[in-house]
Amino acid sequence: MTPEFFKKTLDPVIALVAISVLDIFLFLVVGAWTVGGGETMMTGLIAQAIIGEEALGRLPFWTLVFEPDAGYWKIYISLGMLFGAFVGAVLSKEFYIRFPRRLSEWVMITIGGLLMGIGIRLAFVCNVSTFFGMGPEMNMGGYLAISGIIAGAWVGSMIYKRILEG
Amino acid sequence: MSVIGQCLVAFLFGSVVGLLVQRSRFCNTAALRDAILFKTYRNTKALLVGMMILTIGFTTFMTFGEGHPMYFDVGLNTFAGLFIFGIGMVLAGACTVSTWVKTGEGNIGALWALLFTFVGMFLFSLVWSANYWPPAPASMTGEPNLEALQLGYANAATLQEKFGVPAVVFGVVQAGVLYLIYRAIRRKEMAQEEHHHAMATHATAAQPAE
């Protein structure tokens, strides 16, 4: 990879073409790109470490749907993204610790994060599965999910706009 | 493939994706939010191109029974869940991909969003019902189950099975629709560019000569 790659911003269309070709390979080997499933398994593993196996086992979700398993391949997609982004940021000298400045930002991020987590588990899919898995597989759920996320993004944008306008 | 092999492939895939997303600043949230709020489509176009390639790729392999499509029932919960998710990602300013990528860049706000995504998932697991709703094995039968607001399961492969038409044919139709949306966006952008150019020319012409 040329040093130029780390100096200029890459055209997102080129990035998405490359990611899509790789996603087709992933689809053939294990399954399409997804993030929500891996995050759920990480949640289970973290919860297990905090409250213990027995206490977690009392919740049916963690025995019937996502039994904590560190060998679940989807976890490693997320960890890989973290690693790849860190390498990219360091080599392009874009890595630095930054914090949200205002209290309102912390509040919005907290509420936003919570809603994302609840939404993923209610739908059984995340935005990545929606656009890079179910949608292209022409799964009926893909159309429902795309409609839902567009409607949600519209409502979210209106709330965001109102907050920006004070 | 062995479990370790699967995890290695996933990590390698994720690493390349993380690098490409970091270098391109692609963001799924921005693809929707910027189109709605600011009428800019940098990320939206990339998303559409990606979906076109994937649609053709996935449905081509599904025609021959290859690949690992997602298999579970969908229903009202799919719409409702992504609706909630959509609001959340705009408020958090990041989706599932950009929370990881921005965290990798040292963004503590993104790490905070990620932690609360985990908290949200755990809270949901506390109220999840193994019996019926939110959708559980008992209500997901593979067929429409309207009482549980479930529509069953269907994708390009099931369409091929039902109509005897290769899955890729449906894929080409979907890719065509995505292309029409892409073309409409490009036309809108070109009209915006022309407008800006005309305004700049007008402003230059209106300046008094020294």
In three-state form (DSSP H/G/I as H, E/B as E, the rest C), the secondary structure along B22-47 is HHHCCCHHHHHHHHHHCCCCHHHHHH
Give per-residue pLDDT as tens, B159-178.
Answer: 999 999 999 999 999 999 99
Measure the CA–CA gap between A123 and B74, rounded to whole angstroms: 8
pLDDT at B145 over 60: yes
Give per-residue pLDDT as tens, A3-13.
Answer: 788 888 999 99
Q: Could you say which of A67, A97, A127 is where a domain stops?
A: A97
Question: Are residues A4 and A71 located together in one domain of the fold?
Answer: yes
Closest chain A CA to residue B45: A13
Nearest to A93 by CA among B186, B106, B40: B106
Question: Are residues A102 and A152 located together in one domain of the fold?
Answer: yes
Question: Are residues A40 and A76 located together in one domain of the fold?
Answer: yes
Question: Are residues A92 and A111 located together in one domain of the fold?
Answer: no
Give per-residue pLDDT as tens, A63-97.
Answer: 888 899 999 999 999 999 999 999 999 999 999 99
Which structural domain, as residue segments, surrounds residue A123? Answer: 98-166
Q: Tell me the mean pLDDT in the region B5-33.
A: 94
Which pLDDT score is estimated for B133?
A: 67
Shortest Cα distance, chain A CAs vs residue B93, angstroms: 7
- Inter-chain contacts counted by CB atoms under 8 A, chains A and B: 503
Question: Are residues A121 and A138 located together in one domain of the fold?
Answer: yes
Q: Tell me the mean pLDDT in the region B84-103.
A: 94
Question: Are residues A12 and A90 located together in one domain of the fold?
Answer: yes
Measure the CA–CA gap between B82 and B85, rounded to whole angstroms: 5
Question: Are residues A59 and A108 located together in one domain of the fold?
Answer: no
Measure the CA–CA gap between A10 and B19, rounded to whole angstroms: 10
Question: Are residues A7 and A66 located together in one domain of the fold?
Answer: yes
Contacts B51 to A, Cβ<8 Å:
131-132, 135-136
Q: Could you say which of A97, A114, A138 is where a domain stops?
A: A97
Question: Are residues A78 and A90 located together in one domain of the fold?
Answer: yes
Contacts B88 to A, Cβ<8 Å:
111-119, 152, 156
Q: Could you say which of A97, A112, A128 is where a domain stops?
A: A97
Measure the CA–CA gap between A47 and A43, rounded to whole angstroms: 6
Q: Is the CB of residue B6 less than 8 Å from the CB of residue A73?
A: yes
Chain B interface includes A160 (CB < 8 A): yes
Chain A interface test: which of B101, B125, B149, B186 (most A C-beta within 10 Å): B125
Q: Is the CB of residue A89 less than 8 Å from the CB of residue B95?
A: no
| Total count of domains within chain A | 2
Question: Are residues A25 and A62 located together in one domain of the fold?
Answer: yes
Q: What's the pTM value of the predicted model, to 2 decimals?
A: 0.91
Which pLDDT score is estimated for B131?
A: 66
Which pLDDT score is estimated for B208?
A: 63
Give per-residue pLDDT as tens, B176-201.
Answer: 999 999 999 999 989 888 888 888 88
B 162-181 → A contacts, CB under 8 A: 167, 170-171, 174
Contacts B152 to A, Cβ<8 Å:
140
Question: Are residues A113 and A139 located together in one domain of the fold?
Answer: yes
